[in-house]
Structure 1
Amino acid sequence: MNWQLAGIGVLFVAVMASALAVIHSKHQSRLLFMELQREVNLRDELNIEWGKLQLEQSTWATHGRIEDAASQRLDMRLPDSRTTVILLE
C-alpha cells in the first residue's frame, strides 16, 4: 500500500511538472507570436515606405525634370544645330 501511494505521488509530481511545462510553452508561443506580428507590421510599413521612395526616385529622375533643372539651375541649353558637328566613322 505504501508503494502505491509513493507511485501515485510520483505520478502526481510528473503530471504537475508536465502541466507547468505546457503552460510555459504556451506562454513562450504567445510571446513569439506577438513578436512575429510586430515584425510583420514593421515589414509592411517598410514595404510601403520603399514603394513611396521608389516613386519619389522615379519622379526625380524623369527626363523632363532633369532637363528643367539643367536649364534653370545650370543655365544649360541644347546646342544650336548650326554649331553641332556630327562625326561619322
Structure 2
Amino acid sequence: MSRGLYLGLTTVILAAAVLVAAIAVVDSRHQARKLFAELQQLQKERDELDIDWGRLRLEQSTYATYGLIETTAREELQMKVPSPEEIVIVQQP
C-alpha cells in the first residue's frame, strides 16, 4: 500500500471518527436539555404538591378541633351527651 493511499485512508477514518464523536456530543447535549426540562417540570409539580400538602394539613387540623367536632355532632347529627340512665356498659365475654 502506498504512503499516499495510507494517509488518505487514515484521514477518512479519522474524519469519520470525528463526525461520529460530534454527533454523539450533539445527542448528549440534546438529552441533557430534555432531562433538565423534565427535572424543572417535576420540581414545579413537587412544589405545588408541597403547597397542597400544607393546605390539607392545616385544613385537617381545623376539622380535628374538639369544638368543631362537637358542634357538627350536635347540629348536623342531632347528637347529645347521654344521661347516666342511657349509658350501657358492655363487657366482652
Settle same-fold status: TM greater than 0.5.
yes
Instruction: Identify the match of residue 41 of structure 1 among 31, 40, 44.
Output: 44
**Which ranges in structure 2 are unaligned for 5 or more consecutive residues?**
88-93
User: TM-score, normalization: structure 1?
Assistant: 0.83
Would you identify which runs of 4 or more consecutive aligned residues in structure 1 move more than 2 Å? 74-80
Superposition deviation, residue 57 in structure 1: 1.1
The alpha carbon displacement at 1:2 in A equals 1.3
* Amino-acid identity (%): 45
Task: Tell me the TM-score normalised to structure 2 length.
Answer: 0.80
Q: Which residue of 1 aligns with 2:32?
A: 29
Q: Deviations over 1:34-66 (max 9, x none)?
A: 001101110110111111111111111110000
What is the Cα deviation at residue 14 of structure 1?
Answer: 0.4
**What amino acid sits opposite 1:61 in the alignment?**
A
Return 5+ residue gaps in structure 1 as ranges.
none
Give the length in aligned residue pairs: 84
* Letter of the structure 2 residue corresponding to residue 64 of structure 1: G
